[in-house]
Structures are given as structure tokens and as C-alpha cells.
Structure 1
Amino acid sequence: MTESQWNQCADDIFQMVVNAFKECRIPEKLNYTLITLVPKVDSPQTMVHFRPISLCSTLYKVISKVLVARLRHILPHIISPNQVSFVPGRQITDNILIAQELMHKFKLSKGKKGFMAWKIDLSKAYDRLNWKFVEHVLVELGLPCPITKLILCCVSTVRYQICMNGELTDQFLPKNGIRQGDPLSPYLFVMCIEKLSHLIEDSVKKGVWKPVKSSQSGPAVSHLFFADDLVLFAEANSTQARVLKSCLERFYNASGQTVNYDKSVVFCSPNTRKETAKEVSLICGSPLTEDLGKYLGMPMLHSRITKLTYGSLIDKVHKRLASWKSKFLSLAGRATLIQAVTSAVPIYAMQTSKLPISVGHELDKLNRNFFWGGREKKLKIHLCQWDLACRPKHKGGLGFKKTTAMNKALLAKVGWRLHQNDKGLWAKIYESKYLKGKSVLDSSLMFRQDCSTTWKGVMYGVELLRQGVGWRVGKGDTTKFWKDSWLIDEPLLKHDGVLHIEDIDCSVSNFFKDDWWDLDKLRRALTEDLVQHVVNYPVGFASNLQDCQIWKGTANGVFSVKTAYNMFFKGPSWPDYSFSLLWKLKIPPKLKIFAWLIAQGKILSNEQRVRRQLTLDASCGVCEWPIETTLHILRDCYKARDIWNTTNLLSQAVWCSNIPWSLVFIFTCWYVWKWRNHQVFQGDDDVSPYPKQLIVRAVHEWFKASRVLSKHNHKVQVDLKWEPPISGQFKLNVDGSRRNGSGHIGAGGVLRNSSGDWISGFAVNLGKGQILEAELWGLFFGLKLAMDKEINNLVVELDSALAVQLIQKQGLSDVHPLAALVASCWELMHKINCCSVYHVYREKNCVADCLATWSYNLDLGFYIFVDAPAWIGPSLIDDLLGFTRSRLVPTDLLV
């Protein structure tokens, strides 16, 4: 189904889904499934070496995904915390962190009590699942009867055909099992394997199963599940081994599952007697191992981490790069492969472990050599340092990811989740073992000697986390005015704008007065410039929202790995170039890289070649100018001048009048560089008899292709005017304003009735800040004015779509920097009977716009206009007379 066909088939599909849920069954033909065999090994020899993937019909998947969407919401409430797969809010890394901590416990265990871990491999887990067992589980979990019937219909009415050697076999009916490829299957399996979790938890409660604790006061862990990846933990003795096997057998007899005992392994802590370990292995029926190997793709750390521990990452990247021929790819093509493939290889491992520095350097080396076109035995010139290439694009780099920096940013995310009081089992283990009531940002946690390698990695990431954590002030009674970083990146105590400190431990709320700042108190403590920044801070004067710590690097206050990584590169700025603009240009990717090299001065001119000791002659190979610089090659050399003159670009010729100048300029620079190299290295003095024609053709081809690929949103001119509210209603128009030069912000608003009569207006000077803050402060003061006037049935209009979105988004996160101000607006709206907020275009909001602009003439603070000022008269009259103003509006926004 394509987007273009949706209008023709949407109603039929919708009715089909409705009927399926109404009748609790699906059409028979809808469940016909094609099985294709995907090799699991390089050279498959038997059927065991293939993984059967079920290709379900698209229409069936619509029904299946609707069921999944409904099941996802209940899974966190019915699935134990030991299972993390396909459960919203849980991550695969959770169980890896727990397993690493338990291995650390095993490593440090002393005395007679040993511990065991049994890693279990299920044989054909999906294929063996018994349908009767599935039904029993669904009923036991309390799913509604119609949903249970529909799920069982999806599972049991399947018809299979196998695609072998390009031909289809006859249809056949299965008797059990669920399909790999069905969106519903993973969720069904998770619910079924939960039955085993119930059996284990029941044994633990009865005291029969002795689980393992990573610390004395920590939670006991008896098992870890990720779909069909099972690890069981218990004390290492024969009695416990029999209990484990008994639980498994009870589950397998009911569900139809089977253990592959040869692939399963038993690992015992080093303090376990050898005889006991062998006895445990014999009872379990699985071989004993001294190394648990990998769990969920990550090595279980039993000793010191070395380069060999994560050598597989280097091998994977090396294997990928070896299959690509860099000489057939442009720099842009190589950059794409590095960013999309090789840089992603170590990401999974770096989420839970600090890689050795040598591994990070080796991975960077492989990517670096591939990007510049070098091979293992034949390196090529690197035009810039890798550190520069690894900078974010808006900071002058190419956006590559430096492995060690990315590793630290990913581990900082684990620290952030702990800081935000994650409720998962992994967080409880860390809380009981390491935090013990302290904040993860507490620097004393860095110096523990008895911690695991995994915890050391988390603390490595927390170093970065500390740099980006700030405060979002709500009520202001928790945040310290002088000591906490709530206004700027450092405590106000360290700022040069401090005049007088009366109480160094006072909170921010000490500077509040009557739902606004105490300006007199602020001016005694801070310089006027700093006061200008304080007064616009989005605190929650009218809300009960508590203060909390947020991530300062993002607009929504939620931690992101991208912004954490960017913190490594605060570095110098580049005032001569706007790198963000460069990457937004609609030009071929290879020309973007070329333009970046020009901007960085990294084109391999003879001047650069002399610096790199590749030649002794710095002169131009075309005109013999003494020093050949980048500027000389592209502009000053007579050959370059001839090309620029021939193309007649300075006069903006007709041929390029409808084409962006940036596109024409970059293409011309590219051809100048290309022809210069052709002449210097191949000795061909005749560059091209028609340079203009070649450039024109290339520019037009790209311009035409890019326009075809891009979607055009046409605009039409519409006439807009302010519309009075209906009889019995009042309308509040508010607006914010900002002067880009000085950064001053202000807000204003007007309250009118259904006749358009002036009831009241206001303007507020908010100091220095951002436009969105001004818009929301304008709404806050406008609502406050309406409430003081005892106005009900209020319609509020703003011309900031983003501000309206924040107000209408009831689920706004508490860590959003503007959450307290938005919450204050909500509180005021709830106190006004029947209040609604809408977005309008500026042409409908002219009076409020004039008031907001006028606020710059006022001192800091809030001012009410009982009567309309004379200077606002023309705009008021225009609104009363229904004067229209024109605006170009995208067609998709027209109602």
C-alpha cells in the first residue's frame, strides 16, 4: 500500500479491522504466510543452520499491530522487572548492568557459600510454544475475552507455504508455535515466559530457591530474562540445582519448550568447591565453564578489561571496511558509511562499559584511514586532524563521532537515568550497593575502591553529566539563589555582577514578592545587567511545581547523548564562517565536503604541500605565482579569473537568475579546482573550450533533480483581520517581543469584549531573554489581569504557535525549562471559568504586538492601562472597523 493509494483503500481497511475486533476473528486468507529461510551461519549445511522468517500479509499486520499497541500499555504492570524485552520504559542495557554487578559479586565472594549462574539456551523457542498454554496465560493475565479470542485466532488460523529455491511448497497447517515476523509474536512470548518468572518467584517466596544479592541490603536476583535469553542465579549446591531444574521442567512440560543443554552453560563463583561445581553441572545437565562468555552480546567481565576483551569490535569494523573500496567513493560517500555503519558498531557496547582507550584509538584509526582513502599498508594524506573532523557540524567539524567521547556521553545517560530515579531493578541494585541515599552527582562516589568495572564506567560518564545539569526553578524554595547553577552555567556566587550577599544560603523564593520578583532586593544584590536576566527567568509564581534538576543542553530539559557529546567541543568559535548554514545548503554532498575543506583552509595547495614536506616549491603550477594558496587557486590565478569572467557570474546572468547563488558559486569553485588539478598533474593546458556550458549544465541538472525530490508547499495570499468574540465572551490578545540586537524582551496584551471595546491592557518589561519566554510571560500576566477583573468565558489568542503547543500539551515533562511558567499559566486558566487558548497569525494580533513593542520604553515591571493609550488608537480603530491585512499562508494550513 502506497500513500497515493490510501484514499481508495482506507475505508475498506478500516472496516476490516473493525470487523475483526467485533467478530473476534480474521478472514482466513488474511493469515496465509510465506516462510523464507535466512542463514544463521556463513555456510549452512542443515536446516538447523537456517532461521525461518514468516512473511505475513500487510493487512494481517494492521490487525496485529493494533493488538500490539493495546498490549504495550499493560505490559509494565503485568511483567516482572526481571524481564526487559518489549516492555515500555525498560531497556536491554538494564539486564546487562545487573548481570555485570552479579559477576562482580561472584568475583568477590569468599567463604563456603558459592553462587551459580545457569545461562540457558532454548531450542526453537517460538516454534515450540503450545497454543493451549498461550490461551491459559492470556486468561490468567486477565485479558478481556474478545481480545483473547482474537489473539488465539491470529495464532491458530495460520497457513504456511515455504519458499525453497525460488519455488513455493504446498500449504500446510501448524499445530503449535508462533511466527517470527509477526509483530504480535514477541509480546505473546514475553507474556508466556512470564509464567516461568511466576514459578521462580513462588519458589523464592517459599524459601526453596536461594537467589543472589549483589550487596547485603540490595534486592535478590533469581533470574534475568530478555525474551528467550534466560540466566538463572542461585546458591551453588546440589539442592539448589535440583530446585532450578524442577522449576524449568514444570514450565517446559506446560509450554512445550525445550532446553538445548549442550549450548547452555553453568558458571560458579571462584570460591565454590570444585566437587560442588561439578555436581551442580551434572544435575543441570549443562557443561561447567570458567567464563560465562557473552550475555545479550556483551562480555561478562570476570577480570581486568583489556584490548582483547573488546577486540571483536575492532574485528567487526575492520571486516566492514575491508568489504568497501574507498577509491571508488567520494569523501562524502565515505563519510556516510562511517557515520551510518562503522561508528554505530561500538555504540551498543559503549552504553554499559568504558572501553579501553586503546580500543577507542584503534577504532578511530580505522575510520580515519578509510575516510582519507588509505589502506593498512598504504596510507594517504590526512587533510585535517581527526579531532577537527569529529567536531559537531555546527562547530566546524564533519560530525564524526570520536569513540572515547561518545563512550563517555553514552555512560552519562546511565548516570542521568539514576539521577532521575529510575524505578527499574538495575537502579535499585545500584542504589543499595553504591548510592545509599546519595545523589549520583556526589563526587565522593568517585573514589570507591571496591566497586565493579561497570560502576567505574558509570562514574566516568557522570563526570560529563555534572557539566550539563542545572536547575529548573518552580516554587523556588529548594534551589539556592547563590550556590546553585539555576540562571547561568555557574553559581551566581562566582559571577562578577554580584554587589552584596545578605544570606549566602537563601533560596530563590526569598527574592519573590507578590507573584513577581522583588526588584529592590535584586538591585541591592546584583548589577542592573544581571537583574535584567533574572526577571525573565521562567519561575512558577502561581504553581506548586517543585524545583528539580534538568539537562541544560536540550530545549526540553531531557538528557540526550547528542548534546552530551557536543559538550566535549565547547572550544573556539569561527566568526568568519557559518558552518550551520553550509550544511543546510542544497548542494551535492561531495561539494559540501569540498566547501568545508575550503572554509577550513585544508585544500591541498602547494603552500600546504610545502608545509607537509611533500614538495619544496610553493609556487602556482599554472601561473608560477610565488605562493599558491587556496584563495589563489580559486580566485586570483589567471586561469580561475578567466573561468569566473567567462561564466559572467558577477552580472548575475539570466541563466542563473532563478538558481540560488550558493549553488552556482560552489559548482564554479569545484570546476576551477578540478581543472587546476587536471592541468597540474596531467599537463593538459586546455582545460575546456566551453567552461561556462559545463558549469551551467551541472548546475541545472542538480537544481532540477533537487526540486523534483523536494516537496513544495505552495502559499496563497489571504486577508486576515481581528475577530471579536461572540456575545457573552471576552477576548484576550497577548504577544511577546524581542530586540535581536540587545536581547531585551517584553510582552503586552489587551482585553476586549464582544463589541471590541477596550476593557484593560498591559505591558511588561522583562529584561533580557528569549522570545518564547516573553510569549509565555505575556500569557501569564494577561491571565492574571483577566482573573483580577473577574472575567469568565475567556478566549485567549497568541501568535506564537510554540507557546500554544506548550500550553495545550498537558503532559509537559516536569524537567522542561519552561514547565514552571507553563504550570503557572495552567493554574490561572483553571481559576477562570471556561478559558481556552488559540494560535492566530500576527495580522490578527496587532494591538497586542504594539503593546509588547512599547514595553521597551518602560522600566522593569508590569504596567496596566485602564484606558487605551493614544498611540494605540490607530490599531484599535482598524480592528473595530474590520480592516484586513494580507499574508502568504501555506495551503496545507488553510482550513
Structure 2
Amino acid sequence: MAQMKFPSKWRSWVMATLYSARASVLVNGSPTREFDCSRGLRQGDPLSPFLFVIVMEALTCVMKKVVSIDLFKCIDITARGPLSSHLIYANVMFMVNLAKCSIYGIRVREHEVQQMVSHLRCKQAPIKVLDALDKIRRVFFWGGSEEKAKMNWVAWEKTIAPVEYGGLGFGSIRDANLAMLAKWWWRFKTEKNSLWRRVIWAIHHNTRAWNDIPVKISIAGLWKSIISIRQFLLNADIDLRCAICASLVNGKNIQFWLDSWADPVPLYIKFSDLFKEERFKDYLVEDRLGFDESGPVFSWAWARPSLGDSEHVQLQQLEQMVSGLNMGSGRDCWTWKYDSNGIFNVAGIKKILSMANRVSPARVFEWNNWIPKKVAIVAWRAEMERLPTKCVRIEGCYDCACLYKLNI
């Protein structure tokens, strides 16, 4: 901390927390005498992650030094991809040394290291897993157990439906899974310089078939699973490829051809013939476009010295489209199409998915926050004639007298 120019007073505060920590052990429910913690902070101390970041910053500098003098060899993702010497997450660190074909874990159990060797995977949850989780929720809600399930008086799809569609608003686990995976589409577009994004681009990008969000079908793994959710979201009228648009300011974080900025459709799709003639297809807006007193100034780099007729037509259309835009000194910003504020949020996608393919009922149960939830749910079931009362079971009718049999 001294080398990182932290003031001495602040360092003394930190050291005081390290040396003054005391703890006791509960034996048969009674605490023992307190003793000093000789291993630093107590488990769960909120200061711990901050100190970890400081230590990892110093260790990262050391790793960069040993890599520069060839004592440690990095992972080479692809021939033109980024290099990685170590991975840090929370209070765990992995170091990979390809020179010795080894992987080491710091504060990591052996089986966790082996899992890292087998590649970390974050896929769309399988249907069987989602069904099993839904079954646990359903059994718990109706008061059953693993040994004995109870009668489900209302269909589960009706129960988890939004309140405005006559349900309880629990939401679907499948919808939550899709919404959280959709966030990776947003992050891929907006975090251009992040390490994980550069790794994905290096692995899945194909120079013969350009795509703004690339994926190689032949490569199994987490990214292929994330990309596959687009088809599921299309059923709810959510098109992830057209959902993320950039607002041009300085053009330093927007790819000229691959991002949606001048038009909802990326320029590499809208002007496909012209895109084929581009030499540097991943250039930013600032590399291709500038402004002076007379208006926009373009800087093109074509693969051929002269363009064909179709390319000339598309070039005129492109320049006319961009001529009405301006650039400033701020930062480019990104907009999410399916939110009124333009900000991506998982809850918003979950809400859209929960309402997809549902029909609004003619009459919706009105909830009252003053009434206890248990009582309100009984009334909700009673309105649908879904109570285990004698008149419902035998006659299939409902009247107010049935409520008195419930003793509520």
C-alpha cells in the first residue's frame, strides 16, 4: 500500500483492523473466551474484498513483469487474440503456465482447479433442470413435500402469470434464465475493450462470414448456448440483433459497419455490396467519419481502386444517411430498444417474456396490500372456485357461505 501511495494514516487504520480482530467459539450454545485472530481479518469482513483487490493489483504487476522477461508464458487464445497469464475472481486466482503445461490455484481446492482445467461453462439451463426447479416451487407453494405432493388447485402456468393476467406474479424460471443470458448480448456490444469480449471475438470471429455478434457452430460451449437464446426471444417479439443501438457522440466506441448507429439495421447488412469492398471491416466510426465546417468528411479504404455501379449507388445512399449526424467531445452511449429509458435491465425482459402469448382476462382479481397475503390468496382461489370446500367438490358452485367453513 505504501508503494501505491496510500497515506500513512489510512494504512494505520487498515493495520488496526488486522491486529485488533477478536473472535470466540460457540460451544453448546455458549461463547468461549475471546482470542486474537492471528490470520488477519475475520471471515466475511466487508473490508476483505477491498484488500484483496489491492493485493491482486500488486500481484498483477509482478505477473506482467515475469511474462515480459519470459519466465512465465501466457495463454495464446488465437494467433491474433489477446494473451492471458492469470484469472482473478472474488478471492480466487488461477495462474496458467503453458511453459510447464500446468495450472495453479490460489485459495482454490483441487477439484475446483480440475474443473477449471475442464473449462468453465455457463450454458442455458436444460429443460429437465428447469422443470425440476419448477416442480420444487410448485410442491412448496401447495404445501407438499418430497415424500408426498398435494393437490394443485390452480394450473402452474396460471399461478406464475403476471398479476394483470390473473396470476400471482411469481414469474417463470425459464424466463429468468433467458433474461439473464440476454444480458451477455448487451455486454458484448457495449464492453468493446473488455478481456472476455476480445477472447470471444478472437475465437468465434470468421473473416469469411462477418457478423456483429459472431459464433462458430462447430465450437461447442457457453457462447454458442448464449447466442441460441435469440430464437426463444423472437417468440416474444424480442429481436436481440436489433435491440441494441448506439448514439453517436465521438465515435470511439462504435464500429462503423458492425454496430447499429446510423440506422436500426447495421450498415454491413444494409449496404452489403459496399461492405465487401471495405478493407478494414472492424474500423470505428472515428476512423471513417469526421466533420468540419463544410460537413461530414469520409475516409474510405476500398479493396479495389474503383467501385462498381451497385457500390456507387450504395455509397451515395450511405453518405446521404450519415450527412445529417454530428459528432461531439463526449462518450458514445448505448440504447436498449425495449425500455422507455433506453437502459438494459433483466427485469424488463422477464416482464415481456411473462406476458408473451397470454390473453388478458375479462376480469382481473384486485389485490389489496392491507390484507395478509395468505388471506388474499384464499380469496383469489375462491374467485376461481379452486377451494377444497364441499360445495365446490360436489356441486361445482361457489357462494359466500363456503368461506365460513375455512375459519378465516
TM-score where L is the length of structure 2: 0.67
1:571 maps onto 2:327 in alignment = no
Aligned to 2:97, the other structure's residue is in SS state: strand
* Residue aligning to 2:153: 383
Amino acid at match of 1:380: K
Provide Cα deviations, 1:539-589, integer angstroms capped at 9, x if missing partner: x9998889865223334322211111222232344253356xx34532110
1:155 maps onto 2:29 in alignment = no
Structure 1 gaps of 5+ residues are 1-137, 249-258, 268-291, 303-351, 485-502, 513-539, 610-616, 620-627, 635-639, 641-671, 679-697, 699-895
Whether the aligned pair in 1 keeps the contact of 2:389 and 2:402 (CA below 8 Å) is no
For the aligned residue pairs, the C-alpha RMSD in angstroms reads 4.3
1:402 maps onto 2:172 in alignment = yes
What is the CA-CA distance between 1:469 and the residue it aligns to?
1.5
1:358 maps onto 2:128 in alignment = yes
Aligned to 1:293, the other structure's residue is in SS state: helix
Aligned to 1:139, the other structure's residue is in SS state: coil
* Residue aligning to 1:52: none
Whether the aligned pair in 2 keeps the contact of 1:413 and 1:461 (CA below 8 Å) is no
1:674 maps onto 2:397 in alignment = no
1 CA distance for matches of 2:341 and 2:141?
Answer: 35
Greater relative contact order structure (CA < 8 Å, 6+ sep)? 2
* Residue aligning to 2:68: 205
1:427 maps onto 2:200 in alignment = no
Q: 1:456 aligns with which of 224, 227, 246?
A: 224
2 CA distance for matches of 1:172 and 1:149?
Answer: 22
* Residue aligning to 1:466: 239
Aligned to 2:2, the other structure's residue is in SS state: helix
Whether the aligned pair in 2 keeps the contact of 1:215 and 1:432 (CA below 8 Å) is yes
Amino acid at match of 2:58: K
What is the CA-CA distance between 1:266 and the residue it aligns to?
9.8
Provide Cα deviations, 1:176-201, integer angstroms capped at 9, x if missing partner: 62333432233123322433333322
Name the CA shift for 1:473/1:606 in 2 (closer, same or farther; >3 Å): farther
What is the CA-CA distance between 1:479 and the residue it aligns to?
3.5
Amino acid at match of 1:194: E
What is the CA-CA distance between 1:591 and the residue it aligns to?
2.6
Provide Cα deviations, 1:815-866, integer angstroms capped at 9, x if missing partner: xxxxxxxxxxxxxxxxxxxxxxxxxxxxxxxxxxxxxxxxxxxxxxxxxxxx
Amino acid at match of 2:149: L
Whether the aligned pair in 2 keeps the contact of 1:204 and 1:211 (CA below 8 Å) is yes
Query: How do residues 52-201 of structure 1 correspond to structure 2 at under 5 angstroms?
Result: 138-156=1-19, 158=20, 160=22, 162-165=24-27, 166-169=30-33, 177-201=40-64
Aligned to 1:140, the other structure's residue is in SS state: coil
Structure 2 gaps of 5+ residues are 250-259, 267-315
1:293 maps onto 2:115 in alignment = yes
What is the CA-CA distance between 1:301 and the residue it aligns to?
5.5
Aligned-residue sequence identity (percent) comes to 23
Name the CA shift for 1:301/1:198 in 2 (closer, same or farther; >3 Å): closer
Provide Cα deviations, 1:468-504, integer angstroms capped at 9, x if missing partner: 81657679x94438x69xxxxxxxxxxxxxxxxxx99
Amino acid at match of 1:393: V
Provide Cα deviations, 1:498-519, integer angstroms capped at 9, x if missing partner: xxxxx99798888x8xxxxxxx
2 CA distance for matches of 1:598 and 1:508?
Answer: 60
Whether the aligned pair in 1 keeps the contact of 2:66 and 2:72 (CA below 8 Å) is yes
Name the CA shift for 1:505/1:587 in 2 (closer, same or farther; >3 Å): farther
Name the CA shift for 1:212/1:294 in 2 (closer, same or farther; >3 Å): closer
1:370 maps onto 2:140 in alignment = yes
Whether the aligned pair in 1 keeps the contact of 2:248 and 2:327 (CA below 8 Å) is no
TM-score where L is the length of structure 1: 0.33
* Residue aligning to 1:551: 336
* Residue aligning to 2:372: 588
Name the CA shift for 1:176/1:378 in 2 (closer, same or farther; >3 Å): closer
Amino acid at match of 2:373: P
* Residue aligning to 1:562: 347
Query: How do residues 589-628 of structure 1 correspond to structure 2 at under 5 angstroms?
Result: 589-598=373-382, 602-603=386-387, 619=395, 628=396
* Residue aligning to 2:77: 214
Q: 1:480 aligns with which of 237, 253, 263?
A: 263
Amino acid at match of 2:263: K
What is the CA-CA distance between 1:411 and the residue it aligns to?
0.8
Q: Which structure has the highest helix share of the two?
A: 1
Name the CA shift for 1:401/1:236 in 2 (closer, same or farther; >3 Å): farther
Name the CA shift for 1:224/1:388 in 2 (closer, same or farther; >3 Å): same
2 CA distance for matches of 1:575 and 1:554?
Answer: 25
Amino acid at match of 2:227: M
1 CA distance for matches of 2:82 and 2:382?
Answer: 59
Whether the aligned pair in 1 keeps the contact of 2:158 and 2:167 (CA below 8 Å) is yes
1 CA distance for matches of 2:176 and 2:26?
Answer: 44
Amino acid at match of 2:336: W
Name the CA shift for 1:479/1:374 in 2 (closer, same or farther; >3 Å): same
Whether the aligned pair in 2 keeps the contact of 1:474 and 1:544 (CA below 8 Å) is no
| Number of residue pairs the alignment of both structures matches | 339
